[in-house]
Structure 1
Amino acid sequence: MTDSQPTLKGLAAKVAEVTEAFTRTLEENKIPEPTFAADSPTSYSGLTGEMFLQRQQLLDHLNDMIYLVQGPSESIFNYAHNCMPDVAALNILNHFDFWSAVPLAGSATYSEIALHTSLPEEVVTRVIEHATTLRIFEKTAFEPGTPLRIRHTSRSAALAKSAGLRALVSTVLDDAGPPMTVMQEALRRFNAGKTELAQDMTQTAFALYHSGALAGKYANSWEFIENDGEGGKKGWRQRTFVQFMDYIKEIFRLEDVVENAYDWKAAGTATVVDLGGSGGHDSIVLARKFPDLSIVVQDLPQAQPVFEKNVPADLKERVTYSAHDFFNPQPVQADVYMIKLILHDWPDKESVQILRGLVPALKPGARVLFIDYVGKQDELAGSASGPPLPRSIQQFGTSTDLRMLALFSAKERPVGAWKEIFRQADERFELVRVEANPLTFMVIIEAVWRG
């Protein structure tokens, strides 16, 4: 039905309408708009749920315009032509720390950047020339007889200012990116002709990619990030991953999510186990706000140095670290077990095994507080007659879902699937509360042990 299809004129009208509404609410709420200047705000701070949806709807309309302006064939051609060089350029800039090679309030020549990064000047020039097409760095006004100089834009400055954002780029592109390039071959070898996905971590794109000498032989992504590197560099990916998780905490406002996920004050004097708690960032904040809580952060031994560096001296008696593999039986008897952003990295079988690992330590009435990502938003989009979520929100989930498929043979789950994981683990888990919000991308499940 062609008459219902978006047109350039119709989309332009919608863009103008939504832009007017969005910028008006920004002004009313005194939220500054980002620009491309290096001293621009790096994000919108304080968006309400309504404003966030407005922004994503605007993004959908703009993306549709981009597709229609190019036409179907050319839009696909341009995407295929540009996507890998875009990724490669950002990965190189990040890996060789181009960000600190250019002063935030100044500029640098290609030769100065080459000296800082220890790369040939030709390579530096070619990478930055591509990056500037993405509004990452920009060339200063050229004066005859003087070397060309490079300065930050707001996009490159955001990376220069934030270790967490740099860690995100490294983890998503450098660690998880390469295996995704062989997903089609992994699916052909391990899944073609089958009716269901093989939930076997030895049959993933990651396993295939790391099966040869080129990338090193690692059984799974966790083994890779914990052991890659030699000498003092050994485990550098693990340290970067901890920074990445700290940054995720900021962009998803996990401190607020964790604080509001449970009535911690009413819990009184309680012992909490933060399963897979990494460097203990959220547990430290929780302990600071609720002085009656004693929190045990559990993770692999490799994360303990980061924890010891993070934990303040005045909290060391109440926030402690216990090296623990969550596939083994839980050794600590506690009142609350917090499982935050853990199970989405594992297939169903392993997720069930992690929950079952808690059972030996559970006392009647103990609670499991489950906080995780809702990567599939369909059932949260309201009634069938209600407006669908903007595609840009859905795409966030589908991108993560493909990454989970490549790395773990896992998937991003809707709320119903999370409930089923608890049921399969043990029917003595009683789900007393299930809350999900598509704007925070989070689901909270409170389960009480009735054993």
Structure 2
Amino acid sequence: MVDADLRPTLGSLGAKIKDLAESYERLLKENEIEAPTLAADSPVNISKFTPELFMTKQKLADAMNDLSIISQGPSESVFNYAHNVGPDMAALNIMNHFNFWNAVPASGSASIADIAKHTALPEEVVQRVIEHGTTLRYFAYTDNAAPSKSPIQHTSRSAALAKSPGLRALVASCIQDIMPPMAIMPEALERYSLGKPKTTKEMSETAFAMAHSGGEVFGNFANVWDYLENDGQGEKKGWRQRNFNAWMTYIKEIFGTKDVLLNAFDWKAAGEATVADIGGSGGHDAFELAEAYPNLKIVVQDLHECQPIFDQNVPSSLQSRVSFQEHDFFQPQRVHADVFFFKLIFHDWPDKESVEILQALRPALRRGAKVLFVEYMGKQGEIDASIPRSIRQFGTSTDLRMMALFNARERPVDAWKEIFRAADERFEVVRVDANPLTFMVVVEAVWRGEE
């Protein structure tokens, strides 16, 4: 029997959307949250999400997506997506790469000639890209009656990009760093996985490795981190790593991972503890943690390109307690920490490499030392039909990225436990907290080995 969920009518979906939109609007007002608009002065983010508000928003997104599909019809909805997805991405990428956002005043307008001068691009290119951008609500014409001659003004989407370097960094990384390998995933699967019972787990057999096996555009890089660290020449070398750091800082802001971090562990009860923030980038998490808990001493560990970012941003008040140490987490750990903290690290690596990262901790582990993961929820076991598809999509999107870049996956709870078991049976997983509201899972393990 076909599930009734697959037979909605335009009318029933319209009524559902109306009810959800009214509930959402009511919840925003009750929580004193300003609702977004399409205008440039719209709030950039929705703050103070309650569980009810968040779930209502996601259910509304699902219903609107269903209405869009059935209003077009199955064939046309597929055609429209396939026809538009590439140009949509290209327009956003161009506008972001050449910073169209800051070419238009926040509360004013700019001509095509003004934007062309700001970006150093030909007016024809700017005109054509802006034309497509306005169909996606990036920018708008000040005079819709004569758009070809109209100055350009911001919408809420373009204004958000003008205001947020972190959002611009996210767009650049998602499109420029991640999309080329994802576009050739069929070729990688055909070469390395076709006809086999399981997909390859070798880092040398990823879509990323295929895309970066040489050539003028993408270069020859062993893995994503090699690419981020070493792409570019002269002063521009490592620009992708710096961009990635800005992206990670933005993720902290948009998903409220500060609260996830501060609540991931009983940091106060840890006492005068030493924390190793492994793969800690430019220290954005360490600074938050040290500000909140003066009892902690934190060592941020990452590759050398991250140190200038750390040095630039570390508050003077924290310099006595937060330091940077260049470290490759595949090499033996040198810091005898009480807590070894990994945030958004292991989902980037296949099982073999994840096990090796944990095993590299062993020289520094003392009995009772904690290993703490904060990761994307990903796909937590069996599909939970009560969770809106738009939430599940976040995990499945990240999961496919991991396949393209690392031959890794977003892991369910049991898989996290298996990673620890495979690394060393002296690791004991004592806690796993998965929260769809934050898209995050916290995993805590204790080292039960001898001193």
Task: Say yes or no: TM over 0.5.
Answer: yes
1:438 Cα deviation after fit: 1.4
Equivalent position SS for 2:422? helix
1:28 Cα deviation after fit: 1.5
1:22 Cα deviation after fit: 1.4
User: In terms of mean alpha carbon deviation, does 176-185 or 15-24 score higher?
Assistant: 15-24
Equivalent position SS for 1:129? helix
User: In terms of mean alpha carbon deviation, does 312-321 or 62-71 score higher?
Assistant: 312-321
Amino acid at match of 2:228: I
Selected match of 2:390 from 384, 392, 403: 392
Q: TM-score, normalised by structure 1?
A: 0.96
The question of whether the paired residues in 1 share the 8 Å contact of 2:45 and 2:254 is answered with no
1:366 Cα deviation after fit: 0.8
Tell me which residue corresponds to 2:401: 403
Question: Whole-Å Cα distance in 2 between the matches of residues 346 and 146 of structure 1?
Answer: 49
Tell me which residue corresponds to 2:278: 275
Question: Whole-Å Cα distance in 2 between the matches of residues 3 and 393 of structure 1?
Answer: 21
Match status 1:325 vs 2:323 = no
The question of whether the paired residues in 2 share the 8 Å contact of 1:377 and 1:394 is answered with no
Equivalent position SS for 2:45? coil
1:379 Cα deviation after fit: 4.4
Equivalent position SS for 2:204? coil
C-alpha RMSD of matched pairs (Å): 1.5
The question of whether the paired residues in 2 share the 8 Å contact of 1:34 and 1:41 is answered with yes
Deviations 1:214-251 (A, max 9, x none): 32111111111111111111111111010001001111
Tell me which residue corresponds to 1:138: 140
Task: Decide whether aligned partners of structure 1 residues 13 and 142 sit closer, same or farther in structure 2, where only a CA change above 3 A counts.
Answer: closer
Tell me which residue corresponds to 1:240: 243
Output aligned runs, 1:32-431, within 5 Å.
32-141=34-143, 147-214=149-216, 215-379=218-382, 381=384, 387-431=385-429
User: In terms of mean alpha carbon deviation, does 416-425 or 320-329 score higher?
Assistant: 416-425
**Please, which runs of 5 or more residues in structure 2 have no aligned partner?**
none
1:388 Cα deviation after fit: 2.0
Question: Whole-Å Cα distance in 1 between the matches of residues 152 and 61 of structure 2?
Answer: 29
Tell me which residue corresponds to 1:11: 13
Equivalent position SS for 1:187? helix
Question: Whole-Å Cα distance in 1 between the matches of residues 401 and 62 of structure 2?
Answer: 22
Tell me which residue corresponds to 2:24: 22
Question: Whole-Å Cα distance in 1 between the matches of residues 432 and 156 of structure 2?
Answer: 39
Question: Whole-Å Cα distance in 2 between the matches of residues 145 and 201 of structure 1?
Answer: 49
Question: Whole-Å Cα distance in 1 between the matches of residues 41 and 263 of structure 2?
Answer: 34
Amino acid at match of 1:19: A
Task: Decide whether aligned partners of structure 1 residues 2 and 335 sit closer, same or farther in structure 2, where only a CA change above 3 A counts.
Answer: closer
User: In terms of mean alpha carbon deviation, does 146-155 or 235-244 score higher?
Assistant: 146-155
Question: Whole-Å Cα distance in 2 between the matches of residues 377 and 125 of structure 1?
Answer: 45
Question: Whole-Å Cα distance in 2 between the matches of residues 40 and 198 of structure 1?
Answer: 46
Equivalent position SS for 1:46? coil
Amino acid at match of 1:226: E
Task: Decide whether aligned partners of structure 1 residues 376 and 145 sit closer, same or farther in structure 2, where only a CA change above 3 A counts.
Answer: closer
Amino acid at match of 1:327: F
1:253 Cα deviation after fit: 1.2
The question of whether the paired residues in 2 share the 8 Å contact of 1:225 and 1:237 is answered with yes
1:212 Cα deviation after fit: 3.0
Amino acid at match of 1:172: C
Moved over 2 A (4+): 1-4, 142-148, 377-381
1:55 Cα deviation after fit: 0.8
**Please, which runs of 5 or more residues in structure 1 have no aligned partner?**
382-386
Task: Decide whether aligned partners of structure 1 residues 136 and 426 sit closer, same or farther in structure 2, where only a CA change above 3 A counts.
Answer: same
Question: Whole-Å Cα distance in 2 between the matches of residues 12 and 203 of structure 1?
Answer: 46
1:146 Cα deviation after fit: 10
Identity between Structure 1 and Structure 2 (%): 61
Equivalent position SS for 1:202? helix
Q: TM-score, normalised by structure 2?
A: 0.96
The question of whether the paired residues in 2 share the 8 Å contact of 1:347 and 1:409 is answered with yes
Equivalent position SS for 1:266? coil
The question of whether the paired residues in 2 share the 8 Å contact of 1:370 and 1:445 is answered with yes
Question: Whole-Å Cα distance in 2 between the matches of residues 345 and 146 of structure 1?
Answer: 46
Question: Whole-Å Cα distance in 2 between the matches of residues 427 and 144 of structure 1?
Answer: 70
The question of whether the paired residues in 1 share the 8 Å contact of 2:185 and 2:207 is answered with yes
Amino acid at match of 2:283: G
Tell me which residue corresponds to 1:449: 447
Equivalent position SS for 1:435? strand
Deviations 1:186-228 (A, max 9, x none): 1111111111010011111111111131321111111111111
Task: Decide whether aligned partners of structure 1 residues 172 and 22 sit closer, same or farther in structure 2, where only a CA change above 3 A counts.
Answer: same
Task: Decide whether aligned partners of structure 1 residues 398 and 32 sit closer, same or farther in structure 2, where only a CA change above 3 A counts.
Answer: same
